[in-house]
């Protein structure tokens, strides 16, 4: 019995590791939309998989895909992170964020591109934070994976697909209002 349990545990841990290549980028994008910080999302995404590995012994595959379970862990971690962040002192000035972006930018893009991207990210982060929690969640799941359908999002959130599409439309419309005409000139 003990041997079977340890084999089962090993199988589950291997399943988490096997999901990492395809799921890590999706988790990072989801967290990036929710936190507004791609670099932070990369670190948090790594933490998500560590936690999944530690908790996978209790996971039972009874109709809930492991991917959805890991997204749930990501959501919980994001909630804790945002709560802790709200208790910290005032945010780092934009100049420091820009410097950080320049120091860590992908060599494939120019410094100017990195600067533009970080500035736009800051604007988008502020706009997204003005949406409702449900709208943010729908957008984050949507942008996490190009193949994600509204039916899959509905299943994760426990809502109807029509409700998901309505929230998605309302969220984008609201973002457009917040961002103003500037979004159309880009």
Partner 1 sequence: MSDRFELALDECIRLMLQGMPAGVCLARHPEHAAELAPQLAVIERMAASFGREPGAAASARSRQRLQDEMASLQRQDLEPARRASWVERLAGWMTTGTRRWATAAAAIALILVAGAGAVAASAHALPGELLYPVKRASEQARLAAAFSDRARAELHLAYAERRVDETSTLVERGDMGQTPANAARLEHHLAAASHLAAGTEDKSAQAFQVKLSASAAVSLTRLEQAVARAPEAQRAEASALVFAAGASYAGASETLAARTEPLHVAGEPGQVQIRVVDQPPPGVQGVIVEIHDIQVFLAAGSQSRWVTAVAGPRTFDLLLASDVQEVLGQAEAESGTYTRVRFELGSVTVVLQDESRQTVTPEQQALEVLRPFRVEEGKTTVILLDFDADRSLQPGPDGVFRFDTKVLVRVLKTAPPEGVAAGAPTDATAAPEQVSITGTVDSVTEDRIVVSGVEVSINPTQTTDIVPGATVTIDAQPGADGLLVGIDVQVTPAPPPTPEPQSVEVTGEIQSLAPGLLNVSGQEVVISASTEVSGVLALGATVSVSGARHEDGSILASRVQVLAGLPPAPAPEPAPPGSPE
Q: Which residue has the tokens 């609201």?
A: 174
Cα–Cα dist 132/3, whole Å: 48
Binding mask 68-97 for partner 1 (x = CB under 8 A): xx-xxx--x---------------------
User: Distance between CA 140 and CA 37 in Å, rounded?
Assistant: 13
Question: Judged by CB under 8 A, does residue 101 bind partner 1?
Answer: no
Burial letters 157-170, b for 16+ CB under 10 A, else e:
bebeeebbeebbee
What is the C-alpha separation between 107 and 103, in angstroms, rounded? 10
Among 15, 53, 115, 134, binds partner 1 (CB under 8 A): 53
Examine residue 40 and tell whether it contacts partner 1 (CB under 8 A): no
> How many Cα neighbours within 13 Å face the side chain of 127?
19
Interacting residue ranges for partner 1, rule: CB under 8 A = 6, 9, 13, 16-17, 20, 24-25, 28-29, 32-33, 38-39, 41-43, 45-46, 49-50, 53-55, 58-60, 62-64, 68-69, 71-73, 76, 104, 106, 117, 120-121, 124, 139, 142-143, 145-150, 156, 158, 162, 165-166, 168-169, 172-173, 175-176, 179, 183-184, 186
């Amino acid at each position: 019995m003990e041997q079977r349990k340890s084999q089962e545990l090993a199988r589950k841990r291997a399943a988490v590791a096997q999901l990492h290549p395809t799921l890590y980028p999706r988790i990072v994008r989801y967290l990036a939309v929710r936190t507004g910080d791609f670099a932070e999302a990369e670190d948090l995404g790594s933490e998500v998989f560590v936690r999944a590995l530690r908790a996978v012994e209790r996971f039972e595959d009874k109709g809930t895909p492991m991917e959805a379970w890991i997204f749930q862990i990501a959501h919980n971690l994001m909630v804790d992170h945002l709560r802790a962040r709200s208790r910290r002192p005032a945010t780092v000035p934009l100049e420091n964020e820009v410097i950080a972006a320049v120091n860590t930018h992908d060599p494939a893009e120019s410094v100017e591109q990195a600067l533009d991207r970080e500035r736009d990210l800051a604007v988008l982060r502020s706009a997204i934070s003005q949406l409702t929690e449900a709208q943010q969640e729908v957008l984050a799941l949507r942008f996490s994976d190009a193949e994600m359908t509204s039916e899959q999002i509905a299943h994760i959130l426990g809502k109807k697909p029509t409700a998901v599409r309505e929230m998605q439309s309302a969220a984008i419309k609201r973002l457009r209002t917040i961002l103003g005409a500037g979004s159309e000139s880009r």
